[in-house]
Chain A
Amino acid sequence: MSVVAELQQLRKTPKGERRKNKDNLPGHLFLLPWTVGLFGITLFPMAASLYLAFTDYNLLQSPEWIGIDNITRMISDDRLHNSLQVTFTYVFIGVPIQLAVSLAIAMLLDRGMRALPFYRSVFYLPSMLGASVAIAVLWRQIFGYSGLINQLLEMVGIEGRGWVSSPDTALATLIILHVWTFGAPMVIFLAGLRQIPDMFYEAASIDGASRFKQFFTITIPLLTPIIFFNLVLQLIGAFQNFTQAFVVSGGTGGPADSTLFYTLYLYQQGFNRFDMGYASAMAWLLVLIISAITVVNFWLSKYWVHYDD
């Protein structure tokens, strides 16, 4: 069961009877490292950053309580609004395209394909390497003024442009990079397609349903839990992307802030300017945004995701 399904399951299961003879000690001992981590490395820092969000703190002097000043500053911070816009554009264009491509390729690969392992490897490899600095370096060259794309365009007589150095197209190159790494969701879709019994399709063909119709009446409904799982995780992941924008823009988020991902702006505020209070407030806004989107996703899932229970 996926993380997503587990969480839904937890909500559904009734409270178990309290058994008195629980053997507490071994369980807590095995969980000791995790428990220390949860409180020391996760919950305590979360509480600390919630406090810092209401302070002015530069690491040198002790934090100074400034109430909601960081929040009002966020409301009037144009760069922050822009970075949100950049991030939302990236996420809400990149993720759906990536999922559509990964599902389409998985469908093509699914049934009785010779050489399937070879193709699967070729499509999966970019998603393994995609998060590395090396690939970001490559992207910066490919979409540069004298890069590979323009060299190829020149062969067919089209005048290129500096894709990464122009504010109109720089973000698009990062979206293309995101789509290029569709291998991970594709592998999950492939596994999901394997689980659909052949007899469903056989029965449908006997009834005279076209392949097109089979896709919409069998494949898609049965795949909805997997589409949902991929959607939730890809959205959460895409909001947090950092490396590609950092490398392609040389750490600036340029040109003209067109690739200033929210995480990159947070990094600049926190670790270039050591404005830790403001960066903490920004971090909490990110958590709220991701949580809100995830909650809405779960709520909407009732209307389109079919669980066979």
Chain B
Amino acid sequence: MRSVSNRERGVRATIKHIVMVLASLVMIYPLLWMLVSSLRPNDLIFREPGILLTTLEFSNYVQGWNALSHPFSHFLWNSAIVVFGSILANLVSCSMAAYAFARLDFRFKKPMFALMLLTIMLPVHVVIIPQYILFSNLGWVNTFLPLIVPKMLATDAFFIFLMIQFIRGIPKDLDEAARIDGAGHIRIFLQVILPLMIPALATTTIFTFMWTWNDLFSQLIFLTSPDMYTVPLALSAFIDSTGESNWGGMFAMSIVSILPLFLIFLFGQRFLIKGMATTGIK
């Protein structure tokens, strides 16, 4: 039997920590540098690779905020509408579908379930063109409807799956007890299952927030006028309009745009990591 001496173990742990610290630095350095650069005058951004804060220039923020056709708050507000509409739509439609798949029995359940799983893997590109034609015939292009209505119809099947996983872990006795008390499906769903699903609903909320907040592709296609621009569109318009002459303003607004994501990360990490882990594991 091999015995590892304490000293050897100590050396190993130290080496491991050094590797980890270096790796962490590589991972986080670009983000820190962007943050620090957003507080530096433009000419310094091209010369200063360090992340020691020697200047505190807020002028980038003021100037970036007002560099586009509308103040940046306008785009933040547009993104907020799309994001919160999407969250609400996903919570309602996906939890209903998940309840049906996890707890009810009906005709065609199996093929429907298989279709639902397959749509998780379906590239959006194959439906986006006919959807665009459909929505433009309805007069919805350049409104937020094409971004929210599909979610009201549970097209984000990943979340249905996530919730099904969760509901399966809720003991069936609870449903039975409620049924014996005379509750119907709607009451069981609303009063028994939904309250117990809070962690899955939180995970759905967080992921929907992140994905919608970052979703350039659909927003680029459906929102055409600067008045309707969301944050990703505003940022990419920014880089087009100023070229590379205004890194300061661009970094400042980039920081503003990832701030909500960062806050969610800080406060919702538990749900994120749980959600990630449970979808990947039996």
Which B residue sits closest to A288, measured CB to CB? B126
Which residue of the partner chain, among A23, A31, A138, A271, contacts B254 with CB atoms under 8 Å? A138
Main secondary structure of the interface of A (DSSP, over half): helix
Q: How far is the CA of A1 from the CA of B280 in the complex (A)?
A: 7
Is B150's CB under 8 angstroms from A41's CB? yes
Residue B166 CB within 8 A of the other chain: no
Q: Can you list, as one digit per residue, whether each of B15-46 has a CB less than 8 Å from chain A (1) or not (0)?
A: 01101100110011011011000000000011
Could you give, for residues 243-276 of chain B, a 1 whenever the CB lies within 8 Å of some chain A CB and a 0 otherwise?
0100100110011011001100100010011001
How many A-B contacts if CB must be within 8 Å? Answer: 291
A18 CA to B66 CA, complexed, in Å: 65
A-contacting residues, B41-74, CB 8 Å = 45-49
Report which of A42, A142, A236, A250 forms a contact with B30, defined as CB distance below 8 A.
Answer: A142
When the two chains form their complex, are residues B34 and A138 in contact, meaning their CB atoms are under 8 A apart? yes
A287 contacts across to B, CB distance below 8 A? 122-123, 126
* Known pairs A1-B281, A33-B154, A190-B277 / 19 extra A-B pairs, C-beta < 8 Å: A5-B282, A22-B106, A31-B101, A33-B97, A41-B127, A49-B126, A123-B23, A133-B232, A151-B49, A152-B49, A206-B1, A242-B216, A250-B239, A250-B240, A267-B217, A276-B133, A286-B126, A290-B121, A294-B121
Q: Are A33 and B239 in contact (CB under 8 A)?
A: no
Q: How far is the CB of A286 from chain B (nearest CB, A)?
A: 6
Tell me if B7 is interfacial: C-beta within 8 Å of chain A.
no
Q: Does A217 contact B (CB under 8 A)?
A: no
A residues less than 8 Å from B235 (CB atoms):
133-134, 137, 247
What 4 A-B pairs have minimum CB-CB distances, sorted nearest first?
A37-B153, A27-B106, A191-B277, A134-B254
Taken together as a complex, chains A and B put the C-alpha atoms of A255 and B120 apart, in Å, by: 33
**A125 touching B281 by the CB < 8 A rule?**
no
Number of interface residues of B (CB under 8 A): 101
Q: Which of A68-76, A78-86, A89-97, A180-188 contacts B (4 or more CB under 8 A)?
A: A180-188
Q: Could you list 5 A-B pairs, sorted by A, with CB under 8 Å?
A: A6-B117, A25-B106, A52-B129, A113-B20, A286-B126
With both beta carbons as reference points, the residue of chain A lying nearest to B275 in the complex is identified as: A187
CB pair B114–A7 under 8 Å, yes or no, is yes
In the assembled complex, which residues on chain A have CB atoms less than 8 Å from the CB atom of B136? 59
Identify which of B49, B150, B257 contacts A132 (C-beta below 8 A): B257
How many residues of chain A are within 8 Å of chain B by beta carbon? 104
- Chain B residue nearest to A289 (CB atoms) is B123
B279 contacts the other chain (CB 8 A): yes
Bound state CA distance, A137 and B28, in angstroms?
16
Q: Which residues of chain B have C-beta atoms less than 8 A from A290's C-beta?
A: 121, 123
Cross-chain contact A155 with B49 (CB below 8 angstroms): yes
Q: Which of B30, B46, B217, B281 contacts A146 (CB 8 A)?
A: B46
CB pair B153 A27 closer than 8 Å: no
Task: For B152, give its contact among A33, A49, A105, A192 (CB under 8 Å).
Answer: A33
